[in-house]
Every structure is written in structure tokens, then in C-alpha cells.
Structure 1
Amino acid sequence: MMDTPILQRVSECFIKAKHSTQKSNQICHLTPWDIAMLSAHYIQKGLLYKKPEPLVNQHDFIENLLEKLKHSLSLTLSHFYPLSGRLVTHKTKDPPFYAVFVDCTNNSGVKFIHATLDMTISDILSPLDVPPIVQSLFDHDRALNHDGHTMPLLSIQVTELLDGVFLGCSMNHCIGDGTSYWNFFNTWSEIFQAQGHEHDVPISHPPIHNRWFPNDCVPPINLPFKHHEEFISRYEAPLMRERIFHFSAESIAKLKAKANSECNTTKISSFQSLSALVWRCITRARRLGPDQKTSCKLSTNNRRRMEPPLAEEYFGNSIHTLGAGTARSGELLGNGLGWAAWKLHLAVVNHNDRVVLGWVREWLECPLIYQLGRYFDPYCVMMGSSPRFNMYGNEFGMGKALAVRSGYANKFDGKVTSYPGHEGGGSVDLEVCLSPLVMTALESDQEFMDSASSPSNTH
């Protein structure tokens, strides 16, 4: 058996914002949503591209690509200036005070890495399971967001494969959520494609940097800690298998029709139906006792649920882990798909401005920092990310990406990450992380496999 090739780092540098503004020379205060992420991992998502054909000169191609990526990144950072800063903790003993914020005046820049890996696109996409080498396509492996005190808040790694290029991005989760992350990525792509202009490119969705605080909350937030060891813990994921399952638009439409028919309604959404299927089938694969409680959690965007709503361009965190459904295993599996889907539907419908504000006020009274190893119980299914994010619209001179992949970050047994399917049209890819025994059982689950298939973008 041949040894797996090792990733080689060719070069690294720091990219700074092309232009500074009055706002980019200030302090960026963190909200409760942001601070709660201090002990979680960076967001790690990336896109795999095929090298153009025919390619006359490999060296010229990659050097030209790197130069364009750096230039467009510099222009993009002028809009997303907090990413160039560093986290700072300010504390005093008398009176006691402890606050974490982003120092944007410290324009240290973002890290930019060029690496090579002697593997092909097929080596990455063809195996049934996502190969562990994918984790090396991202910088900041296992880094916690609190590490942003000394590490860049954003790191880009461009890995050259034999026939492709992987563009991996690691962004500090205290700075923004998935909506913010993909707005950054989309804007970078937009500016890259418009290169050749002498002046700055107008962008479609300028980020909004005025961070949201309740009316009676004046930042910075004074935390009840004396040292970061009181709220930071390192998390090491157990041995897991990670696999991508594809759900066509037709398959999801059938699930939605089935769930709504069973409940005599039309209100259950496609994603609620799909999440219900995943919750049921993973619970069955775990072979839990009938009285064992199990739950399904959804990562929910708060922006449009608030009154008045926050703009989608709001740059920061505005997410909630919604405990969408709790049931005993026997109850969940003894009822149909619609029963589970309706529980998820009700939780989503009831997640409104009052609930969002209630969580924020409770947090301010007793600040909670999410601990990966303790926050999710071993019987839960956690649905993260969103198939609504524009992932495949990001082009960097190599056409449409072949696939989306993620790094080590924020994964545990029962974590399911959703992406749009490569062909679009409402199709969805799910990245499922499970213990080896449970994954094997899921692959033999007829209800699940009748709806799922392997992604078609494996070449």
C-alpha cells in the first residue's frame, strides 16, 4: 500500500487591506453571539477547482493565479477590515473588568499560503469517505477562536493538486457566522472576476459592520472571568467516518410531499423534511433503547427573525442553535416522517424576535461560552451550515468549483453539514460525521438510502 502524499508548504505571506478607512482604524466590539464562540473552532470551508485545459505552462498559471488572488484579496479586505485585525483582551483588577474585542488598528493582515500536494481531484472526490488528507488543505487546524489573540483571524491556503486547485479558507468564528463567511467569499470572487479595472470595484453586498446590541447594552461587555482558562477548553474529536450524501431536488420534493401528506398540511419545508429524515435514520442507526431521549438541532440565522430584521449583509454572528426537536427513540421511530418534520417546523416557526431577545438577555445575565465537548449530547443530530449559501457561484478563473469540502473544525459524532448540490435546482449535499459502526448502519438503512445517492461531481 502506497504512503499518502504529504502536503508541502511552498510559501506564505501576509496580505493587508488595500485601503484603510476611518472605521478600519477603530475597535470592533463583540456581541453576545460573537463572544459565545470563543472556545469553538474557526470556520473552515473550501472549494475544489479543476485546472484549465490545455495548460501550456503550469508554473506561469499558478504564479498568475496567486498574484490575482492576492490582489483581489487585498481589495476585498478593504471592505471586510475586521478580518485583518487581532483579538485583544482588556482586563483590570479594581474595579474588576474583563472584555474581549477586535483591534482593527492592528492591521497585521491575513495569512496567505501556497502549498502543493501530489494528489489528483479523483483522489479527493472518489473515495466513499472524505479522505483525512482534506484536513491538511486548511490552515489553523484545531485552532480555537480565542487563538485569534495571536493568530490571524483569516487564513487562506491555496493548494495546488496535480490537476486541480483547492482554495481553503479558515475564518475566526467570533468575527462572523456562515452568512458573513460566504458574503466575504462571494465578494472576493466578484472582485477577482472584475480585475483589470484601475479603480475599486463596486460590490453587490457591502458588509454592514455596525454590530447589534440590545438597546440597554453598552459595549464592551464585561465578562465574569479573570483568566481565559475559565472558559476555554480544547476539544479532540473521536474517531469518525465522514461521508457526503447527495439528495436530488426530485428526492427532496418527494420527502416534502410525504411529510406534508402525513400531517395533512402544506407548511413543512423541504429542509425540515430532509432534516427529519436524517434525524430518524441516524437515531435508528445508533440502535438506541426505546426510552433513550434524542434531539435534532438546527443552526438558525436570526437576521430575518428580528424586528426590525437585520440585513443579510450584517457582518458578525447572528445565529442560534435551535433545539428543534426532542423525542424518545421509540416515539421518533414509531411515528412517520411527518411527525418528526412537524416538530422541526413548529420549532422554526416559533423562533421569533421575542425568543432571540430572550436568549440575549439571559446570556448577558449569565454569559455562556460554547464548549464543543459538552454542548452537544451523544444522541443528538446537529444540522449546520445551509444549502442556501452561494458556494458554487465563486469563480476564480477556473470555472465552477467541482465540490465544497470542510476541515477538521467543529465536527463531532452526529454533526451534519449542508451544502447546495453541485447541479443546483434545490439539490442538497449533506456531509455526515458519525462513528464508524453507526455510519455502516446508516449506509444499510433503507429509508435513508432510498432518498440519498453519492454526489455526481466525482471527476
Structure 2
Amino acid sequence: MVTILGTHTVIPKEETPKGLLWLSDNDQLWRWSHTPSIYVYNPKQNNAKNNNTVVDVNVLVERMRESLSEILVHYYPLAGRLSWTDGGRLELDCNAKGVLLLEAESKKSMAEYGDFTPNEPSIKELIPAVDYSCQINELPLFLAQVTKFHGGDGGFAVGILFSHPLGDGLAAIRFINSWAKLTRGAKLDPSELPFLDRTVLKPTGPLTPPLFDHREFKPLPLILGRTDNIEEQKKKTTFALLKLTPEHVQKLKKNANANNPSPRPYSRFEIISAHIWRCACKARNLEENQPTVVKFNVDIRNRLNPPLPQNYFGNALGPTVTPTCYAKEITTQPISYASQKIREAVNKVSNHEFVKSQMHYVAGFENRWDLIRTPYLEKGEYRADVPFFGNPNIILGSWMSMPFYEADFGLGKPFYFGPGGVCPYDRGVIALMPDEDGDNGYGVVVYMHFQVDHMKDFIKYFWEDI
């Protein structure tokens, strides 16, 4: 059980620009709620050479509060509030109402939380809670909770909620790492400051018809013989965390590149995604002629011409989807076959003209809900118009290359970072994260929610096929 000892509203330390900040069409594409994550620290372990110094929670929170106020001068949009326009767009009022920092204490030791995986119900108490029944313009866009664990281990958790319309994963991590850097007494380099003007993603000139068939915004394949995915939505699911060591990754690379028709080796993402796709098709026991795809997002910061400014703060993700394949092709062909299909999806979003066409396509929708709908079940209802990425498809989120372990608040690097929650129903969402125990970050952790009926077979194939 966690007791909240204090709640602090933190505003920018200095006067910041006021008024509306235009949000790009890319910012409009994602759920308007917050993304939860958690960092866990063991300063006693990190400070073993310094007489096992135990950090005082009051001192730590005060340092974090001061540095948060300082970093908000540069990231002042986070201290604002969202609202809806009459046309159904999100807009941001930079009103400096502030963010929330919570100070908490747990009656449980760090060890009692186990491995901190997001399926553990108790993990939720380490992350701030948001009342989404409030008006959107009342909700803070960033919340952090610092929890001191019970006992002599000196451990802390920092639970984070970051509003998705304000930025993607890379934007959030850069903010948190800069905040941590100030907290531990270091100075920010000018190159680390955010670029806040999102109009660089605003289509110029009149909207033009799409030059490509943007299948990434269209319905995904259904189970053969079905007209909707409601039956799949109702099936029970379970959670698993699978760790790929650097040796596992190298073996997969060797297998995939043995049949690679291209001189460029397949990347970690391409071969791990292909491996997951093959195992999912096998575990689901799909019919041979069952169409299936993998959908994911690609960082487009350096894929535009010219590229976005360094440290662009916002959402800069290009959705993409593989060519539609038959399950038999994915399961019987070498892993290089599925790897190549993943690469083809990546290559789409590496094309400046494709991304530009995608921007015009999205801007052409008067109501963005026609593209995304709501990503959550409402009042327990299952809806055919809600995006569903589960059986027979997969949606992947890759955070493998993000510098999570640079978030040192003066406690040393975190010994654990992970998502703060998992989808309670199968939407096929699988997250790829860096493994802190890996060699130079090449180990990979696979967080996945999958239908109960198929999870055992998925894990079986996952290890057998390596």
C-alpha cells in the first residue's frame, strides 16, 4: 500500500510564452490520454563505493521539484492544458498551470514488488492516477510520483504519466533525461534544448490527392469468414515478458541474413519483428490462406527532406504496415521472408514523398476520429469501429534504441525501466524494450499481451525457433 505524503503543483521557474500552440496533424493521431512508465532505482546498490549512502526522500523530492520548475522554462508547453476546438482538433493553451509531482511512501519493500512487470496489479500504485471524468482542460499533461520503498534498501520508484499529444516516446525520454540531469546538478548543453514549433510539420500549399494507397489508415485483415473483430476482442488474454539476450539476437540475425537478398543486413528490429510475426501465426494456428499484417510506427525526424530540427519536441511518427501476406508464407518461408516484409514497411516511411502524402491524407480528414476512433473500450462495450490489432495481425512498438537508462536523478542509473501498464484486452500490441543487462543495449525485452488460448504455444515457438 502506498501513502501520498504530498502533492506539488510545479510551474515554470520563469515567465514563459502564453497563448495557443498549434498541434500538428501527427499530434492529433494518438490517444489524448497519458502514457504510463516506471523507473526503479536502488541507490544503495549504486552507491556501494560511497558507504552505501541512503538518499532522504524529502531532499530528493525537493531537488526534483526545483529542477522540474527549471526544465519547464524550456518545455513550457507541458505546463499548459489541452482543449478541443469546434472542429474536433486538439489545441494547446500554454497557460503555465503546471504539472504535478507527488511524494509517496510504500509499506512494501522493493523486493515485494517482484520484477515490476506491468501485469502486477500493485505497480499501478507507483504511478499517479488521473481522473478522466474531468474536463480535458483540467488535466495536467505531465505527472510524476516519487515513491520511497519500505525497508533499508533505499529504493525509489519514479512513476511517470506523459500526455501523448504533447510528444512521442523519444520526446518524452529527452524531457525526462534533461530533468534528471538538472536534478543531479549537471548543466544542459544548448543542443539539448527542445524545438517547440510544430508548424514545421504543417502541410504547405493546397492539399493534394494522396500519391500512395495509405493502407496504414485502413482496416486490417479480419479472421476469414468474419465481418468484424468483436469476437476476438472478447477473448481472454494474458501477459508475458520474454528476454532476448545479445546471443539470441545474434543468432536470429545470422539466420535471417543467411538468406538476405540485399547487401544490407537486416536490423534488430526487422528480424525480431519477423520472429514475433512467425511465432504469432504459428501459435494462432491460422489457416494457410489467412491474410495477416504487422503495423508499427517509425520515427520520421530524420526521414524528411529537410530533416526536422534537432530535438524536435512533439509527435513525429509515421504509421506504416507490411504488405498483406498469407499465414502460410510467414510460417513456412525462412525468417528472411518476413524480415523483408518488415523492411518494405520501414522503407515506405523512409520516402519523403510518402510521408508528405501521408500528411496531406491525414489533413484531408475534417474529423480525425474518422481515422483513429477511440482506442479504449467504453463501459465494457465491444465496438466494431474501435481499432483492433490482434488476431490475425500484430502492432509493434519499438523503444529498443531509446536512452532510458540515462535518467539519473542522482540515484545512479535505474536498474529497471518499463511500461506502467498493459492493454487489458488483446489488441495485438507488443512492445520491444532495451534490456539493461544486455551488452551495449543489444539485449531486448519483449512485453506482450496475447490471447490465453495461444500464449503457451507462442512462447514454445518463440524459443524453439531461435
TM value normalised by structure 2: 0.81
The alpha carbon displacement at 1:292 in A equals 2.3
Within-5 A mapping of 1:2-401: 6-21=1-16, 24-37=17-30, 39-52=31-44, 61-91=56-86, 99-104=89-94, 106-126=95-115, 130-140=119-129, 143=132, 148-162=136-150, 163=153, 164-194=155-185, 201-202=188-189, 204-211=191-198, 212-216=201-205, 239-267=236-264, 268-351=266-349, 352-366=351-365, 367-369=367-369, 370=372, 371-372=374-375, 374-379=386-391, 380-401=393-414
Contact 1:15 1:73 in 2 (8 A): yes
Q: Distance in 1 between matches of 2:204 and 2:2?
A: 49
Read off the aligned partner of 2:455 and give its amino acid letter. Answer: M
CA 1:325–1:131 in 2, change beyond 3 Å: closer, same or farther?
A: farther
Cα gap change, 1:152/1:237 in structure 2, threshold over 3 Å: closer, same or farther? farther
Deviation at 1:302, TM superposition (A): 1.3
CA RMSD of aligned residues (A): 2.8
SS of corresponding position for 1:378: coil
d(CA) in 2 for partners of 1:310, 1:237: 41
SS at match of 1:357: helix
- Structure 1 residues 167 and 127, CA, compared in 2 at 3 Å: closer, same or farther? closer
- The answer to whether the Cα contact below 8 Å between 1:285 and 1:438 also exists between their aligned partners in 2 is yes
Contact residue 423 and residue 449 of structure 2 kept, 8 A? no
Return the alpha-carbon distance in structure 1 between the equivalents of residues 67 and 117 of structure 2.
Answer: 35
Displacement after TM superposition at 1:304 (Å): 1.1
Change (3 A) 1:396 1:203: farther
Find the aligned partners of 1:270 and 1:339 in 2 and give their Cα distance: 15
Cα offsets for 1:230-288 (capped at 9, x unmatched):
xxxxxx99753223222122221221221121234342212100110011112222222
| Cα deviation, residue 291, structure 1 | 2.6
Give the alignment partner of residue 407 of structure 1, picking from 402, 416, 420: 420
Matched-pair contact (CA < 8 Å) for 1:129–1:244? no
Q: Distance in 2 between matches of 1:305 and 1:412?
A: 33
Q: Is the 8 A contact 1:178 1:385 kept in 2?
A: no
Q: Distance in 2 between the 1:282 and 1:261 partners?
A: 22
1:432 aligns with 2:448: yes
Return the alpha-carbon distance in structure 2 between the equivalents of residues 127 and 14 of structure 1: 27
Q: Hey, what's the Cα distance between the residues in 2 that align with 1:385 and 1:411?
A: 20
Quote how far apart the aligned CAs of 1:168 are.
Answer: 1.2
TM-superposed deviation, 1:142: 8.3
Whichever residue aligns with residue 458 of structure 2, its letter is: L
Q: How far off is 1:404 after superposition?
A: 1.1
Q: 2: distance between equivalents of 1:193 and 1:243?
A: 35
Structure 1 gaps, min length 5: 1-5, 92-96, 219-235, 452-459
Distance 1:210 1:259, change over 3 A: same
Query: Closer, same or farther in 2 for the Cα pair 1:191/1:78, shift >3 Å?
Result: same
Aligned mates of 2:67, 2:116 — CA distance in 1: 34
2:435 is matched with 421
Cα deviation, 1:294-331, whole Å, max 9, x if unaligned, reads 22112211111111111341111111221134322222
User: What displacement does 1:408 show?
Assistant: 2.8
Asked whether the equivalents of residues 422 and 449 of structure 2 are also in contact (C-alpha less than 8 Å), the reply is: no
Contact 1:72 1:192 in 2 (8 A): yes
Between the aligned partners of 2:236 and 2:249, the Cα distance in structure 1 is: 30
Identity among equivalent pairs (%) = 23
Decide which moves more: 412-421 or 146-155.
146-155
Secondary structure of 2:8's match?
strand
2:38, 2:417 within 8 Å by CA — same for their partners in 1? yes
Q: Which runs of 5+ in 2 are unaligned?
A: 208-232, 377-385
